[in-house]
Amino acid sequence: MQELFSLAEQADQADVPDGVSLPEEIKRREDRLAAMAVAKAKIAARAEERYQREKAEYDEKMARRAAKEEAAGKKLGGKPPKAPEPGARDRDQINLTDEESRIMPVAGGGFEQAYNAQAGVDAATMLVVAVGVAQATNDKEQVEPMLATLKAQAEVLGPVESLIADSGFCSEKNITACEAAGINPVIAVARDEHHPDWRQRHSEPAPLPANATPVQALSHRLKTKAGRALYALRKQTVEPVFGIIKSVMGFRQFSLRGLKKVTGEWTLVCLAWNLKRMAKLRPQ
Protein backbone atom coordinates (compact mmCIF):
# COMPACT_ATOMS: atom_id res chain seq x y z
CA MET A 1 0.00 0.00 0.00
CA GLN A 2 2.79 2.43 0.88
CA GLU A 3 4.43 1.68 -2.44
CA LEU A 4 1.20 2.53 -4.29
CA PHE A 5 0.89 5.82 -2.40
CA SER A 6 4.47 6.64 -3.30
CA LEU A 7 3.86 5.91 -6.99
CA ALA A 8 0.70 8.07 -6.95
CA GLU A 9 2.60 10.95 -5.35
CA GLN A 10 5.31 10.67 -7.98
CA ALA A 11 2.69 10.76 -10.74
CA ASP A 12 1.02 13.82 -9.22
CA GLN A 13 4.30 15.72 -9.10
CA ALA A 14 5.65 14.53 -12.45
CA ASP A 15 4.67 17.61 -14.50
CA VAL A 16 4.67 20.20 -11.71
CA PRO A 17 7.51 22.77 -11.89
CA ASP A 18 9.77 23.18 -8.89
CA GLY A 19 8.41 25.54 -6.24
CA VAL A 20 4.75 25.08 -7.25
CA SER A 21 2.27 23.90 -4.65
CA LEU A 22 -0.85 22.44 -6.22
CA PRO A 23 -3.10 23.13 -3.18
CA GLU A 24 -1.95 26.74 -3.08
CA GLU A 25 -2.45 27.11 -6.83
CA ILE A 26 -5.98 25.67 -6.59
CA LYS A 27 -6.82 28.02 -3.72
CA ARG A 28 -5.46 31.02 -5.66
CA ARG A 29 -7.71 30.21 -8.60
CA GLU A 30 -10.72 29.64 -6.38
CA ASP A 31 -10.10 33.01 -4.71
CA ARG A 32 -9.88 34.65 -8.15
CA LEU A 33 -13.20 33.13 -9.23
CA ALA A 34 -14.81 34.31 -5.98
CA ALA A 35 -13.47 37.85 -6.51
CA MET A 36 -14.80 37.83 -10.09
CA ALA A 37 -18.23 36.77 -8.84
CA VAL A 38 -18.28 39.64 -6.34
CA ALA A 39 -17.15 42.06 -9.04
CA LYS A 40 -19.91 40.91 -11.39
CA ALA A 41 -22.49 41.44 -8.66
CA LYS A 42 -21.21 44.98 -8.05
CA ILE A 43 -21.26 45.75 -11.78
CA ALA A 44 -24.87 44.56 -11.92
CA ALA A 45 -25.77 46.76 -8.93
CA ARG A 46 -24.13 49.79 -10.58
CA ALA A 47 -25.97 49.05 -13.82
CA GLU A 48 -29.30 48.97 -11.99
CA GLU A 49 -28.52 52.24 -10.21
CA ARG A 50 -27.59 53.84 -13.55
CA TYR A 51 -30.75 52.53 -15.18
CA GLN A 52 -32.96 53.97 -12.44
CA ARG A 53 -31.22 57.35 -12.75
CA GLU A 54 -31.44 57.39 -16.56
CA LYS A 55 -35.06 56.20 -16.41
CA ALA A 56 -35.99 59.10 -14.13
CA GLU A 57 -34.28 61.56 -16.51
CA TYR A 58 -36.03 59.94 -19.50
CA ASP A 59 -39.44 60.13 -17.82
CA GLU A 60 -38.83 63.81 -17.02
CA LYS A 61 -37.90 64.57 -20.63
CA MET A 62 -40.93 62.73 -21.97
CA ALA A 63 -43.20 64.58 -19.53
CA ARG A 64 -41.84 67.94 -20.72
CA ARG A 65 -42.20 66.85 -24.32
CA ALA A 66 -45.81 65.80 -23.73
CA ALA A 67 -46.58 69.13 -22.06
CA LYS A 68 -45.13 71.03 -25.02
CA GLU A 69 -47.13 68.94 -27.48
CA GLU A 70 -50.31 69.54 -25.51
CA ALA A 71 -49.66 73.27 -25.43
CA ALA A 72 -48.87 73.38 -29.16
CA GLY A 73 -51.72 71.06 -30.13
CA LYS A 74 -49.45 68.95 -32.33
CA LYS A 75 -46.56 66.52 -32.15
CA LEU A 76 -43.08 67.97 -31.87
CA GLY A 77 -40.58 67.41 -34.64
CA GLY A 78 -37.32 65.58 -34.28
CA LYS A 79 -36.52 62.26 -32.69
CA PRO A 80 -37.97 61.63 -29.23
CA PRO A 81 -35.54 60.78 -26.41
CA LYS A 82 -34.28 57.22 -26.47
CA ALA A 83 -35.39 55.06 -23.58
CA PRO A 84 -32.53 53.66 -21.46
CA GLU A 85 -31.86 49.94 -21.47
CA PRO A 86 -31.51 47.97 -18.23
CA GLY A 87 -28.63 45.66 -17.43
CA ALA A 88 -24.86 45.82 -17.60
CA ARG A 89 -23.13 47.02 -20.76
CA ASP A 90 -20.11 45.56 -22.52
CA ARG A 91 -17.91 48.46 -21.47
CA ASP A 92 -18.86 48.28 -17.77
CA GLN A 93 -15.85 47.53 -15.60
CA ILE A 94 -14.78 47.57 -11.97
CA ASN A 95 -11.34 48.20 -10.51
CA LEU A 96 -10.41 45.59 -7.91
CA THR A 97 -7.73 47.87 -6.40
CA ASP A 98 -10.01 50.89 -5.91
CA GLU A 99 -13.55 49.90 -6.76
CA GLU A 100 -14.91 53.37 -5.94
CA SER A 101 -12.89 54.98 -8.75
CA ARG A 102 -14.21 55.11 -12.30
CA ILE A 103 -12.74 54.96 -15.81
CA MET A 104 -12.82 58.51 -17.19
CA PRO A 105 -11.67 60.13 -20.44
CA VAL A 106 -8.64 62.41 -20.17
CA ALA A 107 -7.54 65.43 -22.17
CA GLY A 108 -5.62 64.47 -25.27
CA GLY A 109 -7.39 61.13 -25.64
CA GLY A 110 -7.39 57.88 -23.74
CA PHE A 111 -8.85 56.83 -20.41
CA GLU A 112 -7.65 56.59 -16.82
CA GLN A 113 -8.91 55.18 -13.55
CA ALA A 114 -9.85 58.42 -11.81
CA TYR A 115 -12.14 60.61 -9.73
CA ASN A 116 -13.81 63.85 -10.77
CA ALA A 117 -12.44 66.61 -8.50
CA GLN A 118 -14.44 69.85 -8.27
CA ALA A 119 -13.62 73.23 -6.74
CA GLY A 120 -15.61 76.42 -6.31
CA VAL A 121 -13.36 79.49 -6.45
CA ASP A 122 -14.15 83.04 -5.33
CA ALA A 123 -13.69 85.45 -8.23
CA ALA A 124 -12.42 88.32 -6.06
CA THR A 125 -9.73 86.46 -4.08
CA MET A 126 -9.15 83.22 -6.05
CA LEU A 127 -9.60 81.30 -2.80
CA VAL A 128 -11.26 77.88 -2.98
CA VAL A 129 -14.55 78.14 -1.08
CA ALA A 130 -16.05 74.72 -1.84
CA VAL A 131 -14.65 71.33 -2.85
CA GLY A 132 -16.09 68.05 -3.96
CA VAL A 133 -15.03 64.72 -5.44
CA ALA A 134 -17.40 62.67 -7.56
CA GLN A 135 -17.43 59.32 -9.29
CA ALA A 136 -19.44 60.64 -12.24
CA THR A 137 -17.66 61.68 -15.41
CA ASN A 138 -20.43 64.10 -16.36
CA ASP A 139 -20.02 67.52 -14.75
CA LYS A 140 -23.74 68.23 -15.13
CA GLU A 141 -24.33 66.15 -12.01
CA GLN A 142 -21.97 68.26 -9.88
CA VAL A 143 -23.84 71.58 -9.80
CA GLU A 144 -26.51 70.66 -7.24
CA PRO A 145 -24.00 69.18 -4.72
CA MET A 146 -21.90 72.34 -5.06
CA LEU A 147 -24.99 74.51 -4.50
CA ALA A 148 -25.75 72.53 -1.34
CA THR A 149 -22.19 73.09 -0.07
CA LEU A 150 -22.36 76.82 -0.81
CA LYS A 151 -25.72 77.08 0.95
CA ALA A 152 -24.36 75.35 4.06
CA GLN A 153 -21.46 77.83 4.17
CA ALA A 154 -23.55 80.96 3.47
CA GLU A 155 -23.70 82.00 7.14
CA VAL A 156 -19.90 82.11 7.33
CA LEU A 157 -18.85 83.13 3.82
CA GLY A 158 -21.90 85.13 2.82
CA PRO A 159 -24.35 84.65 -0.03
CA VAL A 160 -23.22 83.70 -3.54
CA GLU A 161 -24.26 86.10 -6.28
CA SER A 162 -23.36 84.17 -9.43
CA LEU A 163 -22.18 80.71 -10.42
CA ILE A 164 -19.83 80.79 -13.43
CA ALA A 165 -19.10 77.51 -15.21
CA ASP A 166 -18.26 76.16 -18.64
CA SER A 167 -20.61 74.36 -21.02
CA GLY A 168 -19.93 70.98 -19.41
CA PHE A 169 -22.14 72.03 -16.49
CA CYS A 170 -25.02 73.39 -18.58
CA SER A 171 -28.47 71.84 -18.34
CA GLU A 172 -31.97 73.19 -17.82
CA LYS A 173 -32.07 71.38 -14.47
CA ASN A 174 -28.91 73.14 -13.25
CA ILE A 175 -30.11 76.54 -14.44
CA THR A 176 -33.38 76.08 -12.56
CA ALA A 177 -31.51 74.87 -9.44
CA CYS A 178 -29.31 77.97 -9.43
CA GLU A 179 -32.28 80.29 -9.81
CA ALA A 180 -34.15 78.44 -7.03
CA ALA A 181 -31.15 79.00 -4.75
CA GLY A 182 -31.15 82.72 -5.55
CA ILE A 183 -27.92 82.45 -7.57
CA ASN A 184 -27.45 83.94 -11.02
CA PRO A 185 -26.37 81.11 -13.37
CA VAL A 186 -23.59 82.15 -15.74
CA ILE A 187 -23.04 78.81 -17.46
CA ALA A 188 -21.91 78.57 -21.06
CA VAL A 189 -24.58 76.97 -23.22
CA ALA A 190 -22.04 75.94 -25.89
CA ARG A 191 -18.35 76.33 -26.59
CA ASP A 192 -17.29 79.90 -27.35
CA GLU A 193 -16.17 80.83 -30.83
CA HIS A 194 -12.47 81.66 -30.88
CA HIS A 195 -12.86 84.48 -33.39
CA PRO A 196 -16.39 85.94 -33.23
CA ASP A 197 -17.40 88.76 -35.52
CA TRP A 198 -16.26 92.12 -34.10
CA ARG A 199 -19.83 93.44 -34.30
CA GLN A 200 -21.01 90.76 -31.87
CA ARG A 201 -18.43 91.89 -29.33
CA HIS A 202 -19.67 95.47 -29.42
CA SER A 203 -23.44 95.04 -29.69
CA GLU A 204 -26.38 93.76 -27.68
CA PRO A 205 -28.48 90.76 -28.80
CA ALA A 206 -32.04 91.01 -30.09
CA PRO A 207 -34.82 91.08 -27.45
CA LEU A 208 -35.59 87.75 -25.81
CA PRO A 209 -38.91 86.09 -26.84
CA ALA A 210 -41.55 85.93 -24.13
CA ASN A 211 -41.82 82.13 -24.36
CA ALA A 212 -38.06 81.48 -24.12
CA THR A 213 -36.87 78.41 -22.24
CA PRO A 214 -34.42 78.72 -19.30
CA VAL A 215 -31.56 77.65 -21.58
CA GLN A 216 -32.52 80.21 -24.23
CA ALA A 217 -32.79 82.92 -21.57
CA LEU A 218 -29.32 82.03 -20.26
CA SER A 219 -27.87 82.04 -23.77
CA HIS A 220 -29.37 85.49 -24.32
CA ARG A 221 -27.84 86.85 -21.09
CA LEU A 222 -24.41 85.53 -22.06
CA LYS A 223 -24.59 87.43 -25.35
CA THR A 224 -25.07 90.76 -23.60
CA LYS A 225 -22.04 92.91 -22.76
CA ALA A 226 -22.62 92.40 -19.04
CA GLY A 227 -22.99 88.65 -19.49
CA ARG A 228 -19.83 88.37 -21.58
CA ALA A 229 -17.85 90.37 -19.03
CA LEU A 230 -19.08 88.22 -16.17
CA TYR A 231 -18.38 84.93 -17.94
CA ALA A 232 -14.89 86.12 -18.87
CA LEU A 233 -14.00 85.97 -15.16
CA ARG A 234 -13.97 82.16 -15.34
CA LYS A 235 -10.74 82.09 -17.34
CA GLN A 236 -8.96 84.22 -14.75
CA THR A 237 -10.49 82.59 -11.68
CA VAL A 238 -10.84 78.81 -11.58
CA GLU A 239 -8.61 77.93 -14.54
CA PRO A 240 -5.43 79.46 -13.01
CA VAL A 241 -6.15 77.71 -9.70
CA PHE A 242 -6.25 74.26 -11.29
CA GLY A 243 -3.24 75.13 -13.45
CA ILE A 244 -1.11 76.20 -10.48
CA ILE A 245 -2.18 73.20 -8.39
CA LYS A 246 -1.06 70.88 -11.20
CA SER A 247 2.01 72.61 -12.63
CA VAL A 248 3.43 74.63 -9.71
CA MET A 249 2.37 72.61 -6.68
CA GLY A 250 2.93 69.37 -8.62
CA PHE A 251 -0.33 67.66 -7.70
CA ARG A 252 -1.43 65.53 -10.65
CA GLN A 253 -2.75 62.33 -9.12
CA PHE A 254 -4.21 61.05 -5.86
CA SER A 255 -2.05 58.97 -3.54
CA LEU A 256 -4.94 57.45 -1.56
CA ARG A 257 -7.73 55.09 -2.53
CA GLY A 258 -11.44 55.22 -1.82
CA LEU A 259 -13.85 58.10 -2.27
CA LYS A 260 -13.71 59.28 1.36
CA LYS A 261 -9.92 59.31 1.53
CA VAL A 262 -9.59 60.92 -1.90
CA THR A 263 -12.04 63.64 -0.85
CA GLY A 264 -9.92 64.31 2.21
CA GLU A 265 -6.76 64.44 0.10
CA TRP A 266 -8.34 66.90 -2.36
CA THR A 267 -9.53 69.04 0.55
CA LEU A 268 -5.97 69.21 1.90
CA VAL A 269 -4.62 70.14 -1.54
CA CYS A 270 -7.13 73.00 -1.83
CA LEU A 271 -6.32 74.06 1.74
CA ALA A 272 -2.63 74.21 0.79
CA TRP A 273 -3.55 76.39 -2.18
CA ASN A 274 -5.59 78.70 0.05
CA LEU A 275 -2.66 79.12 2.45
CA LYS A 276 -0.39 79.91 -0.47
CA ARG A 277 -2.92 82.38 -1.86
CA MET A 278 -3.62 84.05 1.51
CA ALA A 279 0.11 84.68 1.93
CA LYS A 280 0.00 86.53 -1.37
CA LEU A 281 -3.14 88.49 -0.42
CA ARG A 282 -1.90 89.73 2.95
CA PRO A 283 -0.91 93.40 3.13
CA GLN A 284 2.76 93.95 2.35
pLDDT in tens, 21-38: 777 888 888 998 998 899
Same domain, 42 and 11: yes
Q: What is the model's pLDDT at position 222?
A: 87
**C-alpha–C-alpha distance, residues 171 and 151, integer Å:** 20
Same domain, 153 and 78: no
Same domain, 22 and 159: no
Q: What is the model's pLDDT at position 25?
A: 80
Neighbouring C-alpha atoms within 13 Å toward the C-beta of 139? 12
Q: What is the model's pLDDT at position 283?
A: 84
Same domain, 136 and 230: yes
Confidence band (pLDDT; 50, 70, 90) for 11?
A: low
Average pLDDT over residues 206-215: 83
Query: Distance between terminal CA atoms of the chain?
Result: 94
Final residue before a domain boundary, out of 94, 114, 142: 94
Confidence band (pLDDT; 50, 70, 90) for 64?
A: confident
Across 70-93, b (16+ Cβ under 10 Å) vs e yields eeeeeeeeeeeeeeeeeebeeeee
Same domain, 16 and 68: yes
Task: List pLDDT tens digits, range 124-182.
Answer: 999 999 999 999 888 998 999 999 999 999 888 889 999 999 988 998 899 999 999 99
Same domain, 256 and 130: yes
Task: List pLDDT tens digits, range 82-93.
Answer: 999 999 988 888
Average pLDDT over residues 50-59: 90
Same domain, 41 and 114: no
Same domain, 113 and 246: yes
* pLDDT of 70 over the 80 cut: yes
Neighbouring C-alpha atoms within 13 Å toward the C-beta of 179? 11
Lowest mean pLDDT among 20-29, 63-72, 194-203: 194-203
C-beta neighbour count of 254 within 10 angstroms: 19
State the chain's mean pLDDT as an integer: 87
Average pLDDT over residues 230-258: 92
- Please say whether the beta carbons of 81 and 62 come within 8 A: yes
Same domain, 28 and 139: no
φ and ψ at 28, to 5 degrees?
-60, -40
| Overall domain count for the chain | 2
Final residue before a domain boundary, out of 94, 110, 144: 94
Q: What is the domain range of residue 196?
A: 102-281
Same domain, 57 and 135: no
Final residue before a domain boundary, out of 75, 94, 113: 94
Evaluated on CA atoms 224, 225, 228, 233, the torsion sign reads: negative
Same domain, 268 and 131: yes
Same domain, 59 and 124: no
CATH number, residue 139 = 3.30.420
